Structure 1
Amino acid sequence: MFAPRTIAWPLVALFAAGYLAPYLLPTTVGRLDSGLPLTATQAGAVGSALLLSSASAGFLLASKVDRIGARRLARIGLALAVAGYGCAALSGSVAAVVIGATIGGFGSGTATTVAATGIAALGVPPREGVRAWGSDPHRTTTLGLLGVSALAGAVYLTVPHLGPGHGQPLAAIALTALAVWPLTNRLPLHSPTPQTRRTRTPLPHLRAGLLLASTLPCWSLAQNALWGVSGRMGLTQAHLTEATVGAVFAVALGAGLLGVIGAGTLGPRLGHALPIGAGTALIAACITLSASATDLTTFATGEIAWNTLYPIVLSYVIGLAASLDPRGRWAVLVGSASSLGTAAGPLTGSLLAAEAGFPTMGLVLAAGLLLIAVPMTLVALGTGKRSLPVVEIQVEAPVYDKATAA
């Protein structure tokens, strides 16, 4: 579908444009809270609406990229992102901001879908032959992560110096989408070959797959519940300035990239049960530490450690899902389930923080993660005798639900 050696950089740019919104979630939610007549919970709900809209684009369009055409669909997504986020940034009306953020979120999800589809179609990994940096899926993903991490870090460091208001993070996302637009000229208009029709076969390992797909939304929700309120935690509980919180997030995003690279380096050497089970337990400890932080050292330690561990564990989870079905159907379903949890995270974190406070929120999220780790580890143990791939995923964060000072 794609010509790897000629369109890798457009895919990297699309990747960065699509993933910038979830990476900037903390600062976006925090700025909505401080710059508009919204409560913290309402601002979290806007963040959840943005992410849910982005996830819905993936559900709706993942199988339609070839038919619609990568160039056309990418331009539609970028146009929606520019229009939606741009209007939300410029408007002082709460209703207009909500509608704009939702439209922009769908545009971000559309761009991400085109990028992910193109990256998956790039071809064999480097061990199959000598390939340029931009022509290998894993390397292209890493370049995309580098790009979005660097861009988000720059925004986190810059936004605190641009004055108050809700629009700066949203404007940064809109301007990024606008800057990427010219690169879509190098995307194909149509798929060069029709897709092969495949015989329908039932999903293998149904029990294990359903168990994994049912637990991962809760796992992702816990991660993004923390990320969605991290900016407010740093400002109001740790008593840090917005510039300091932004610097912590910039470092944390870099640590997350190191986590992705680390997961790819480790590969299946540790199996899947240990990284998933022990990794989730460590993440629970990081959430508790970060949510109870009252000073810079504790806050930075919790956020950076969490950002490092999250993509490592997620990559093993997606790899575990991929091992359940060679056609990748469980990987798609589990990834989609994760997106739903990601979308619900900001609202959940805001509600828990408003009702019980940040430390109690952290304890609740950590306890939930420890409970969820048990069935996830059991699935990994049950499939341990098979060869289990480790998938280099696009972090969210990620989603991370990662991103800035309130």
Structure 2
Amino acid sequence: MTPAPYTPSSVSSFVRQSWRLLVVAIASGGIGITMSVVSPYLVGAYIANRSQGGLALGESTAGALASFEMVATALAAIISASLVTRFRLSCLLIGAGGAIILVNAVSFYGDMSSLWFLRPIAGAAAGIAVGVANAIIARSIDPDRLYGLSSTLGTAMSAFALLLTPYFTAWLGYSGVFLLLGVSAVMLTPIALLLPTHVDLLPPQAKLASPNFLSTSGLFVVATAVLLNLGDGSLYSFSELIGERSGLDKTEIGEVLAIAGLFGVLGALLAATLGSRLGRLAPFAVAVTLKAVGSLVVTTMISPSAFVAMQFLLTCTFYFSIVFLLGLSASIDPRGGLPAMTGGFILLGGSVGPVFGGAVVEHFGYPWFGIGVALCLAAAFACFVIADRLNRAVLVEKI
């Protein structure tokens, strides 16, 4: 008997059907992004004096060491597109988690020279975990909704990690961050065993099929990911300076960013509630339009209230738009290769963002910075539209 086609259901009934996928995806994402989440504390611990458990590095060296690890994460997530269609996802996740545990254990006792070698390895393992998380969700019955739910719960888990990190760094300096990363991986890696077999391993015929992430629509999805996070990443990296320009002090800016980060959960939760009921193009268009308006306002209006309001808006629309971008990538490649690659390019776009933002601000000033971000978002929307239309044409041909 042929099963009835899937139709969007309530969030509660969807969770009952897919809770194992949700739990494993959150665990995999947690293994993959925890370092990026706590990186500000790690950079600070690198800079701290040796008496405080630091390495007494200069700001540029400390930033480069952290960036080196995060770039390795982005590149590994991109490369994982070819791995998730060939190997068991649970094996990839257990291997990545094991590598992170081992490398952080060695890093705990490492010195400056060894960290330059060890941290990119940890970053690469984290990137594979990010790719696995996106591939798991891509193989679910409703990827858009599951991306939204995993983003919601994953953001809450990231906030918890941010609350714990200062205690670890106060206790053990930079080694405390490695301890936190290692313990997190120890706790989350065994959850890979919950992954259902039909999601864990693709059938042989699916493995032999040509990779959809090399299709034209897949390339436009990748371009959307880079442009979207190039704008977001550049704006976020200059949030402190924009806040000071608006008249806030560092403590107030930190509080605004922290609360705005939690507020972003609402964007992911709204996306999870909508699922694919309204399609992907209309919600993505609304989010990108609000982003563009927010970027222009926050860079031109020198006002504390405008800064606070726009930080909330930009954070909420970031999580909302990412959900539908990953949902489109899953529709193009349900095997998970393109979603894994898209996650990597989102990270890569964010890592290039500070360079883009710094160049524009230094040479043209903040108003033109806002215009540059808006243009990046407009180009991202154009790429999304093309990818969505190409995907629809392919789906019509299959019917």
SS of aligned partner of 1:269: coil
Judge conservation of contact 1:27–1:231 (CA < 8 Å) in 2.
no
1:218 aligned residue? 227
Deviation sequence 1:159-196 (CA, Å, 0-9, x none): 9x97xxxx97x666423213224424565499989753
1:49 aligned residue? 68
Matched, 1:76 2:99: yes
Gaps of 5+ in 2: 1-17, 49-55
Cα offset for 1:242? 3.2
Q: What letter is aligned with 2:328?
A: L
Q: Which of residues 19, 23, 29 in structure 1 aligns to 2:33?
A: 19
SS of aligned partner of 1:270: coil
Over the matched positions of the two proteins, sequence identity in percent amounts to 20
Q: Which of residues 198, 203, 206 in structure 2 aligns to 1:196?
A: 203
Q: What letter is aligned with 2:157?
A: G
Deviation sequence 1:303-343 (CA, Å, 0-9, x none): 11111001211211222233334444444444443333233
CA shift in 2, pair 1:285/1:99, >3 Å: farther
Q: Which of residues 241, 244, 248 in structure 2 aligns to 1:240?
A: 248
1:235-314 → structure 2 map (5 Å cutoff):
236-292=244-300, 294-314=302-322
1:396 aligned residue? none
Q: What letter is aligned with 1:20?
A: T
Cα offset for 1:345? 2.0
Judge conservation of contact 2:96–2:126 (CA < 8 Å) in 1.
no
CA shift in 2, pair 1:292/1:142, >3 Å: same
> What is the aligned length?
359
Q: Within 1, Cα distance between the matches of 2:105 and 2:365?
A: 36
1:395 aligned residue? none
Q: Within 2, Cα distance between the matches of 1:285 and 1:221?
A: 16
Matched, 1:178 2:182: yes
Deviation sequence 1:254-277 (CA, Å, 0-9, x none): 121111110111223333222223
Q: TM (normalized to structure 2)?
A: 0.70
Greater helix proportion = 2
Q: Within 1, Cα distance between the matches of 2:176 and 2:221?
A: 36
Q: Within 2, Cα distance between the matches of 1:12 and 1:244?
A: 31
Q: 103-112 or 22-31: which moved more?
A: 22-31
Judge conservation of contact 1:271–1:384 (CA < 8 Å) in 2.
no
Deviation sequence 1:53-110 (CA, Å, 0-9, x none): 11123234543565856434312123334555x579xx7x6x7776665454334334
CA shift in 2, pair 1:117/1:281, >3 Å: closer
Q: What letter is aligned with 1:246?
A: G
CA shift in 2, pair 1:335/1:187, >3 Å: closer
Q: Which of residues 236, 239, 250 in structure 2 aligns to 1:227?
A: 236
Deviation sequence 1:111-150 (CA, Å, 0-9, x none): 44455566677x7679xxxxxxxxx887566433321134
CA shift in 2, pair 1:279/1:116, >3 Å: closer
Q: TM (normalized to structure 1)?
A: 0.69
1:80-99 → structure 2 map (5 Å cutoff):
80-81=103-104, 83-84=106-107
Q: Within 2, Cα distance between the matches of 1:297 and 1:31?
A: 32
